[in-house]
A and B are shown apart, each in its own frame.
Chain A
Amino acid sequence: MSQTRTSHRDRLLQALANVIAREGYANTRVADVAREARVSLRTFYEEFDSKESGFLALHAMLTDAVASSLEDSANFDQPWRAAIREGFDTYFRLLVAQPKLTTAIMIELTTLSPEAYEAREYARERFTTVMSNLVERGREANPEIPSRPLTPLMARCILGGLLELVTTEVVDEGVDHLPEFVDTCTDLLWSVVTTVE
């Protein structure tokens, strides 16, 4: 029983991702998601209260997947700054690969309910933790480069800088040029961690 339920939920989340990726969030219909997942509408509503709550679950799942992939793929066998740059590059490539999902997360998610605010907070905490952890690994791998840990507050600042650049760009121009922010984000993070008294 519980295995079936889990697989229903997974299939629904995958279907929701597919439909949003194809149609955009506003045009996504719960009925289409259920059909794509080969489950009944009733099953959808057993798993999620609404389209929005399904989207928030999907957002949490994607956040965890992207965060884990950034942590797993980080490679400190190269100069430290290059490793940071590679991390931002990976992140922006993931955003570019899914234009409509990225738009849903960067724009629609900011105009939804208080639960959506909680979801954004969750993502911010997850990504600031990734940044701080990767900085620690970089510091250990490169003790000869003067540096300092990334505090939660400074990590949050840098993420805020990144999101400001991304949100404005997605609203004005879409996702295509997001990788052009890789150097600016690298510069922000690198400047902060390598500026020591």
Chain B
Amino acid sequence: MTTTFERTARERILTALAEAVARDGYANAKIQEVARDAHVSLRTFYAEFTGKEQAFLELQQRALDGLANAVESTVTFQSPWRDEIRAGFNVYFRLLTARPRLTAAITHELVNLSPEAHAARQWARERFATMLTGLVDAGRAHYPEIPSRSLSPLLAYGVLGAILELVTSEMVDSSPEGIDELVEAGTDILWSIITNVD
């Protein structure tokens, strides 16, 4: 019983924090307001988390894990390979652009240099690199007739950086057409790399 209650408080805090960051940005999010919105006392907040950063890092990890899971469950290899890749990027960019301030906090605060933030950044990098190389290898097994190559770890990190740059560069707006452009660019770069074989 206690466990259920505690988990619920933790979940409510994370939800309230996500709302606060999406609304006010990370720097302006106040723990008092987060606790109030989560219907918990400050004491409960500090029983669950050491502070704003720790709560945010957990939020970040859950959000990014959810994003990766959403992409993985979308790519089922029922359609032509390139269309499957496009579908994966479609989910990725639409989820990322749905809450721009939260995404900005996640992508920018990841650069923050505290050891915990650094560890979170490494975790996210590994999660997405593993997803990317796994999806590419699964695609290669499904479409053996298409000449292709696996992603080396370095290429996977490079592709991840390239894709993240699309989100953070603000070269494309977050209108539906802008998001389509992101999806096409992401698909283009990944497809070019895995099918450009000598």
Binding-face segment, B47-55, B68-76, B137-145, B186-194? B186-194
Q: Which of A157, A190, A191 contacts B165 (CB 8 A)?
A: A157
CB of B121 to closest CB in A, whole Å: 8
Q: Does B196 contact A (CB under 8 A)?
A: yes
**Do A160 and B164 have beta carbons less than 8 Å apart?**
yes
Cα distance, A163 to B162, chains bound together (Å): 9
Cα distance, A195 to B154, chains bound together (Å): 20
0/1 interface trace, chain A 163-197, chain B, CB 8 Å (1 if under): 11101100100000000010011011011101100
**Do A191 and B196 have beta carbons less than 8 Å apart?**
yes
**Do A165 and B165 have beta carbons less than 8 Å apart?**
no
B-chain residues with CB within 8 Å of residue A152 when the two chains form the complex: 171
Q: Does A79 contact B (CB under 8 A)?
A: no
Total count of chain A residues near the partner, CB < 8 A: 30
Cα distance, A125 to B163, chains bound together (Å): 17
CB of B165 to closest CB in A, whole Å: 2
Q: Does B195 contact A (CB under 8 A)?
A: yes
Q: Please report whether the interface of chain B is mostly helix, strand, loop or mixed according to DSSP.
A: helix
Q: Does B66 contact A (CB under 8 A)?
A: no
**Do A184 and B192 have beta carbons less than 8 Å apart?**
no
CB of B70 to closest CB in A, whole Å: 22
Closest chain A residue, CB of each to CB of B196: A191
Q: Which of A154, A171, A184 contacts B152 (CB 8 A)?
A: A184
Closest chain B residue, CB of each to CB of A196: B192
A-chain residues with CB within 8 Å of residue B79 when the two chains form the complex: none
Q: Which of A111, A164, A188 contacts B164 (CB 8 A)?
A: A164
**Do A156 and B158 have beta carbons less than 8 Å apart?**
no
CB of A168 to closest CB in B, whole Å: 7
**Do A156 and B157 have beta carbons less than 8 Å apart?**
no
Cα distance, A168 to B160, chains bound together (Å): 12
Q: Please report whether the interface of chain A is mostly helix, strand, loop or mixed according to DSSP.
A: helix
**Do B192 and A187 have beta carbons less than 8 Å apart?**
no
Q: Which of B111, B163, B165 contacts A111 (CB 8 A)?
A: B111
Q: Does A1 contact B (CB under 8 A)?
A: no
Cα distance, A157 to B181, chains bound together (Å): 13
CB of B151 to closest CB in A, whole Å: 10
CB contact under 8 A between A160 and B162, given known A154-B185, A154-B188: yes
Cα distance, A195 to B172, chains bound together (Å): 23
CB contact under 8 A between A162 and B158, given known A111-B111, A168-B125, A188-B193: yes
Greatest chain A CB density within 10 A among B111, B118, B125, B154 is at B154
- 12 CB contacts below 8 A, A to B, read A156-B165, A156-B166, A156-B171, A157-B165, A160-B166, A185-B158, A187-B155, A190-B196, A191-B193, A192-B189, A192-B192, A195-B191
Name 10 extra pairs, CB < 8 A, besides A161-B162, A191-B193.
Answer: A157-B162, A157-B165, A160-B163, A161-B161, A161-B165, A162-B158, A165-B154, A187-B193, A191-B196, A194-B196
Q: Which residues of B contact A (CB under 8 A)?
A: 111-113, 118, 125, 152, 154-155, 157-166, 168-169, 171-172, 181, 185, 188-189, 191-193, 195-196
